[in-house]
Each structure stands twice: as C-alpha cells, then as structure tokens.
Amino acid sequence: AAAAGGGWAAVCEKFRTARTLSAVESRKDPETEPYRSKYSARALLQEVKQLLSAAEEGGEARLAAVRRAVLEYELGVNHTDTEELSAGEEHLQRCTQLLEPHRLSPDCVSLYIQAQNNLGILWSERDEIKTAQTYLESAEALYNQYMKEDGNPPLDPSEHFMAEEEKLTDQERSKRFEKAYTHTLYYLAQVYQHLEMIEKAAQYCHTTLKRQLEYCGYYPVEWALNAATLSQYYLSKQCFMESRHCLAAASVIFSQAGQVPSAEDNETEQDQQDLRQRKAEIARCWIKYCLNLLQSARKLLEDNIGELDPDRQLELKAQRKKEEDEKEKGRKKAVLFGTSDICDSVLAMEEKVSSVYPLDFQEAREIFLVGQNYVQEAKEFFQVDGYVTDHIEIVQDHSALFKVLAFFEEDYERRCKMHKRRIDMLEPIYADLNPQYYLLISRQLQFELADTYYEMMDLKVAIGNRLEELDSHTIKKINSLAQLAIKYYELFLDSLRNPDKVFPEELEEDVLRPAMVAKFHIARLYGKLITSDSKKQLENMQTSLEYYTFLVDYCEKYPDAARAVETELELSKEMVGLLPTRMERLRAKLCPFI
Amino acid sequence: SVEGDAIKVYVRVRPPSEGTVLTDGDQGLCLSVLSSNTIRLHSKPEPKIFTFDYVANMETTQESVFSSVAKNIVESCMNGYNGTIFAYGQTGSGKTFTMMGPSDSDNFSHSLRGVIPRSFEYLFFLIEREKEKAGSGKSFLCKCSFIEIYNEQIFDLLDSASAGLFLREHIKKGVFVDGAVEQVLSSAAEAYQVLTMGWRNRRVASTSMNRESSRSHAVFTITVESMEKNNEIVNIRSSLLNLVDLAGSERQKDTHTEGLRLKEAGNINRSLSCLGQVITALVDVGNGKQRHICYRDSKLTFLLRDSLGGNAKTCIIANVHPGSRCFGETLSTLNFAQRAKLIKNKAVVNEDTQGNVS
C-alpha cells in the first residue's frame, strides 16, 4: 500500500475508464470495428493488472487477491463480449478460484455471483446448457446462504477500485446485489425453458417479475404484458387463482404506465396507438381467463351427453363449502406480487371476478359478464377494419362465452336465444370474409355456425317433445334450423375441395375429424327433417344413408381414421344397417300393391 | 400425402468462389450432392443425409432452377392461388444470384438472369396467352409494390421519402402494407425496371443510414387481377405473387432459428426485456387450451401469413455455400430448410361436440 498514494488514484482512474469504455463507449463503435472500445478497455485492464502486481508485493494477501479477482472478472467479461470464449473462461475461472475461500464475505459475494452468472452465459453459448445450469444454480445457492448467514448489503465489485469517499451507500449496494441475483434467476428461467422444465421455468419467470417489481427495475407496459402472458401459462395448467393474480397485477401496473406523464410530452400518435393496443391485449387475456374458467366448470359439471348433471352440482357445492374454510391457507402459498400499496390495488382488482369454478347459472353469469366487458374493451382497439384476424378471434371468444353460459341455463327457450346471439355476431362477419385470404378462419366460422344451428335445432326438438303435438310453427322452425346447419356444414366441406371442385380422396390429418363430424351431422340432420310427404321422407333417408355410408367406407379404406371418430363411426355403422330396412318398409307403405 | 399445403423446399449449392478449393485442398468441401433430392453433409463423426424436394448442384443452370422452382408457382398464380418464393441462406451463399442474377446492371437480358426476371417473363407470357385465347372477354391488371423490413420496421422501396409504414388487414383483401406505393405494370420489362429501381433504393439506404443490406428482408409483390365478362356476369379474380429476399440467415439469431444461447441482461435497467420471449415459449407448449399471447409475430411472418400453407403455394430456396469454413452456417441452413418442410397452416376447427350424438 506504500507505493499507492497518487499511484492508487491513477489505478482507480484507469479502471474506471476501462469500465466506461466497455459499457458506454462501445455502443458507439462503428460496424466495421464493433469491438474497438472493448479492445481499448482490455488494454487498460491489463495495465491495471501489472501496476497492481508491482505495487502490492508484500501487501495484504487477501486484499490483493480480491482486487485481482475483480480484474480477472472484468477481463473475462471483456473476452466473452468479443467472442473469445476460451480466454474469457480462463479469466472467469481464475476469478472464482481467487474468491473461493472468501465467497461468503460481504466484499466478495456479489462478485462471485456475477462471475458465476457469466460462466453460465458462456457455457450456454457453447450449447452446453447443463453446465450453464450448474453455475447458475450454485450462484443461486450462494445468494441464499449469504442472505441467511449474513444478509448485510455487500460491496459492489466496482468499489474495490474506488476511493474511500466514493464508496456506495448501503441502499445502493443492496440494490446492485439484488439485481445481480435477479439476473441469476432470469438466466435460470431461460435455462429451465431450454431444458423443457416448464414448470420450473414458469416459477423463475414469476419470481423474476416479482423481483423487478420489488426493486423498481421495470417498465410498466412491458412488465404488464409479461404478467398477462404468464397468466396464460397458468390458465393452461388450470391454476385460476395464479392466473387471476397475474392478470390483476398486469392491469394495475399497466394503469400506472398511462399515468406517468411523458418526459417531453411529445408522445407520438404511434406511442398512443401502441398503448391502446397493449391495453386491448391484456383485455384479451382476461377474456380467455373467464372463458377457461367457465369451460372448465362445464367439464366438471356435465354428464355423458353434455348436459348439466344436478347430482354432480350438489356434490361440488358441498365440497366447495368445505374448502372455503381452508381457503385462507391456500392463499398464502401463492406467490404474491408487489409491496403493500400495489398489493392492495391488485387484491381489489382480483375481487371483481371469482377464481373458483362457477356451479350454477348465477355464478356463471357473473363471470360471463366480466368476460363480455373485456370483449367490448378489446374490440375498441381491434376493430375489423385493420385488424381482421384479431377482431374475429375476439368475436369467436364472445360466441364461446355465450355457448358455455348456455350450458348453465336451464330454460330451453332462453338457451336457444343465447345461441341466436352467437349466430347474429358470427354470420355477418362470415358473409364479408374473403376465404382466399382467411381460409382458416372462414372454415372455423362455417363450422361454428353449423354447430350452433345444429344445437338450436336440437333444443327446438326437445321443446317440441314436451308438447302434446308438434304445431306447424315448431315444425317449420326445426326444419329451417336443420337446413341452415346443413348449409354451413356443406360450405365447410366445400372449402376442402381443390380448385377443380373435387373432394380430396384422402383427408389431411388436421381436417379429418371436423370433416367426418360434418358428414355425420349432415346425415343426422337429414334424419331429423320433418315432412308429411312420404316420398320426400324417403329421399331424406336416402341422403342420410349416403352420408353415413361415406363415413363407414372412408374408415374402411383408411383404417387410421377410425380412431378419430370412434363414436360417430359406431353409430354410422348401426344406421347403415338399419336405414335400408326402414326405407323398405316406407316404400312398401307408399306402394302397397307391389 | 396429398399434394398441396406443405411448403416445397429446394436447396441450391453454389460453386465455391474462385481459388477457394485450391487453398483449402481436396477436403475443402463440406457437402456433396448425392442425387437430385439428397445432399450429404460431411459432419463428424457421422455424415448427415438431408432429403429435400429438389437439390441443385453447382452445375445447375439458372433456367433449370427456374423451371423446377418457380414455374409451377407462377402458373398457379394465374389460377387464382397466392404464391410465394423465398430465398434463404447466409450472406454470400448465392441468394441474390439465384433470385436476381449476376450483379451487373442489365440482368434482364443476361443469360444468367435469375428467378425473378424469369418469373416476370413467364407471368406476362401466360397473361398474353390467356388474353389471346379469351379475346376481348378477359382483361388483366397487374400492380406491384416493393417493401423492405428492417429492424421490424417497414419501408417503401418505391418511395424512398416515405417513413415507416404499417401492416393492416382488410376483410376482403387480407394483409396489406398501409400506404405502400403500388405501380401498374404492363410488361415484364417494366416490372424489372421497377424492381431494379427499388433494389437500388435498398442499397442506398444501406449506406446513408448505416444499414446493412443483408440485415433487411425485401418483399416484391405482384398483384394479378383478372376480369372476365361472361354475358352480364363479371368474374374478378385476384392473386399475389411474393418474391422474398430474406436477410442473411446469420443475422437472424434473434428469431426462432437460434439455438440455446441465453439472452443476456446487459447493464441497463431495461435489461430483462427478453423475459417475454421465455414466457411466450412456455405458453406456446401449452396443451391446446384457449389462450392469448400478447406478443405478435414478426412483421415478416405477419405479412406472409397467407403464404404459409392454406390456399397458397410456397417454396423456399435454401442457398448454401459448400466451403468447409461455412460448415456451421450450412448445417443451420439445412436444419432450417428441414423444419420449413413441416410448416403448414393448421386448419384447426373448433370442434368439440363430443357426446352430442343422441
């Protein structure tokens, strides 16, 4: 330390310049010499290293070692930045070796963790994800051990080359340390994703988001979108409470973004537009939330023909009552976002919609209404003019919301009206849509329209069955609904034809099931048409038979197809056996004298 | 299975630039063409065999590449299909040569002219033939636009003064670039003129704004509209032909082609912005449940959404350099091409009527 004096100040100055070159200047390097500043920084670091070894002979060994480790770290990062991985690895390894004995002490722990982070990145660049994982996990373990055993804000690595009066505050130290650890978690999230440890990856994403919030290292819009997207992961796992929490947090944080007055107040039209789009995106995540919650509840409640099972309903209601008492415990287990004030807003947001399965119409309706509100909000931005695909997807979700709500409705007339609402929103869009550019959506709409008419017809039949006798109005209604269902199924099947209007010999895998179901439903619909004209009835039976036969023949020719349509095939076979006899009987009635 | 949706993939091997083979010796090549649809990559320890729809070796002529790759697509464009031809590969693998031809000024009559000028010629040849066959009953209107996608921003190459443009959708016309200049074309020569003019803009931009041409995608689109009068019934048909020069594949590390590399956090606060990509990936592998992902496709995939399967005809020409120094890039190009064969527009129909067979 004797040789230091003015010398030490110069060393610190060189070190500082090197860091500025590396972090700030290098971004302005010309494309032809992308690493110019990095190379200059490297030269400076080498100089510092030499000055140190000259000055510190006989000095305190531990201090010298730690300072050397800082330099090795900087050199390691410098070399990896310039694509010299092997050299970078050597430096980083030397850094960790020097620190090994002191890694749990406050002046070393942060540096050690950062060195491990960088070794993780380095090995991932060599496509050795497993090796990267070991470094990052050991960094994680070290953080936890340090926090448990010491926990004081540790030194930032740069402080080893600072004069006493420049040293950082505890608050700043802690902020930097926590950030280094957040990076560890963020890299681990990526590692787990690459290793397809999905659940773990999601957990680390969640924690990263949480820490971003805690240490104010986030941009509200970006953060909100990430949280909203994460909610969709939880949806796919049916974790509705977590999903709702992410969405509520996304909405709360997003609303902050709108409130922040922009620095120069010259926000462009484009920025405004972007903000509106993000808001609509989050609304769409909410729609999916409501939809999934309703659909999952439906799955729980339906019997084997897709109707509400009242026994199951009672059973689930009893079960829920029991669970409610334990609810508080479960709540604490979830990872919560935010510190007190944010947390309060998030909780308030959550209260607006349930996260437990709705078990009756009233409960279902409440979730439906929330979903429907978000449909309106999303549509405000995603208008059909300019955002065709998004707009239609939202309308499809709206229709799906009605569909699942109808499941909970016990009154058939009212249920029928809900399906009519679906028709009213889907039909005009379908009519306008150009299938040359929107073939896929066009097919989806055809199929959904067909299905909706089919369902309405079934309902009308059920209503009719309760009557003493079918009145002509009901008959007309049933027939016209059936005809419309047939029309849309046929449109769907026609969309599979090639330009020469020929139906494919063999169906592509992705349209196999829908095409077969369409054929099967058409067959059934012809069977349901009501007519007093026996000749007409015979014709309908004939058509019906042809469609059933198609299914049977097709599966005979392509046995693999049978797996996709097991139930339908079985019933078709039965009908192919039955119908000819019935038709024979009808024919005999028509011409009794033959 | 059935001919149609799957994307056709062609691989073309360019000759090594002069002198390369000599300096590298006999072992200078990293691959060999085994047949007209297989290629062997001399990887260690085991060589790897790739199969594609068509493999063009170093001797294959421009004419023959055109016939096997583009002819069909131009024809189906006349039949009302949308068609797209992509060129993919690392910088220096011969994309521009394949698509445009030698980098001289007048490629249009050059015997080595590429797929694009030849497609123009063939398209207008077909139009003339149709017109003659149908007489006055049928008329055609051809328009073109030429845009560049750089850094997820869209620029109009036919109007260098324009600022960034936006992608929008129209319920009848599909995806379009809002405000892009459309130029009417009456002949192949005119089409070529527009193309070269735009291409020059692309180069100018690459120096004045410090952009590197291989970092941008260029999309040249021809709209063919035919009108047929049959008695009082007017039948209008329209289709698109997209010719796409993709950015050098080595520049696409940030898209889906990348390997296992971790996204670095850097120093500034914004640093964790890639977290969204990780989360998106997690949701992507979800189990087909209803969900919405907040992050959009890239501009390029959005623009060419119709081209990936559905009722469009698409082919990719993967260009590779045979030099052993390019081994890594060649392997990744071939892997990409292999994956591209699997791309299809999944016609998922919401069909959940199980049980409803009473």
Nearest Cα to Cα of residue A193 among B296, B284, B250, B297: B284
- Segment B129-146 shows an average pLDDT of 89
Does residue B321 register a pLDDT over 90?
no
Please count the residues of chain B: 358
Q: Tell me what pLDDT residue A15 has.
A: 93
Q: Sign of the CA dihedral A133, A135, A137, A140?
A: negative
Rounded Cα distance between A174 and A180, Å, is 10
Residue among A402, A405, A409, A412 nearest A456 (CA)? A412
- Chain A residue at shortest CA distance from B79: A499
pLDDT confidence tier of residue B152, bands split at 50, 70 and 90: confident
Q: Give the best residue of A438, A444, A524 to mutate against chain B (max B CB count within 10 A).
A: A438
- Closest residue in chain A to residue B264, using alpha carbons only: A121
pLDDT given at position B260: 52
Per-residue pLDDT of B286-312, as tens digits, reads: 555 678 888 767 788 888 877 665 567
Among the partner-chain residues B2, B238, B239, the one whose CB lies closest to the CB of A506 is B2
Q: What percentage of chain A exceeds 90 in pLDDT?
A: 69
CB B89 within 8 A of CB B336: no
Least confident window among A75-89, A516-530, B2-16: B2-16
What is the residue type of B5? D
Closest CA to A249 of A189, A336, A328, A329: A336
What contacts A587, CB < 8 A, 6 or more positions away? A538
First to last CA, chain A: 124
With contacts defined as CB-CB under 8 Å, which chain B residues touch A382?
none
Instruction: Report residue A413's pLDDT band, with 50, 70 and 90 as the boundaries.
Output: very high
DSSP notation for A187-219: HHHHHHHHTT-HHHHHHHHHHHHHHHHHTT---
Rg (CA), chain B: 22
d(CA A400, CA B53): 41
Whether residue A208 and residue B272 make contact (CB cut-off 8 A), yes or no, is yes
Residue A358: exposure state from Cβ atoms within 10 A (0-12, 13-18, ≥19): buried
Whether B342 contacts chain A with CB within 8 A: no
Residues of A in contact with B239 (CB under 8 A): 436
A54 pLDDT band, cuts 50/70/90, is: confident
The answer to whether the Cβ–Cβ distance between A508 and B173 falls below 8 Å is no
Is B129 in the A-facing interface, judged by CB distances under 8 Å? no
Indicate yes or no: CB of A400 within 8 angstroms of CB of B169: no
Q: Look at A294-298, A474-478, B251-255, B313-317 and tell me which has the smallest mean pLDDT.
A: B251-255
pLDDT at B71 over 80: yes
What was the pLDDT predicted at B51?
92
Among A206, A436, A565, pick the best mutation site for testing chain B contact (most B Cβ within 10 A). Answer: A436
Name which of A138-152, A231-245, B164-178, B255-269 the model is least confident about.
B255-269
**Euclidean distance between CA atoms A565 and A579, whole angstroms:** 20
d(CA B136, CA A572): 52
Structure tokens at A438: 């929107």
- Nearest residue on chain A to B211, judged by CA atoms? A31
Q: With 70 as the cut, is the pLDDT of residue A109 above it?
A: yes
What number is the average pLDDT over the span A71-99?
92
* Option in B350, B354, B356 nearest A444 (CB): B350
Identity of the residue in A189, A229, A235 whose CB atom sits nearest the CB atom of B280? A229
Q: Kindly determine whether residue A202 and residue B291, on different chains, have CB atoms separated by under 8 Å.
A: no
Phi and psi at residue B185, in whole multiples of 5°?
-115, 140
Q: Provide the shortest C-alpha distance from residue B246 to chain A (in Å).
A: 21
Tens digit of pLDDT for each residue in A442-470?
Answer: 999 999 999 999 999 999 999 998 888 88
pLDDT confidence tier of residue B211, bands split at 50, 70 and 90: very low
- Supply the pTM of this predicted model: 0.86
* Lowest-confidence pick of A173-187, B241-255, B306-320: B241-255
Q: What's the token pair of residue A235? A: 């949806």
Average pLDDT taken over every residue of chain A: 90
- What pLDDT was estimated at residue A576? 94
Per-residue pLDDT tens digits for A287-313: 999 999 999 999 999 988 888 999 999
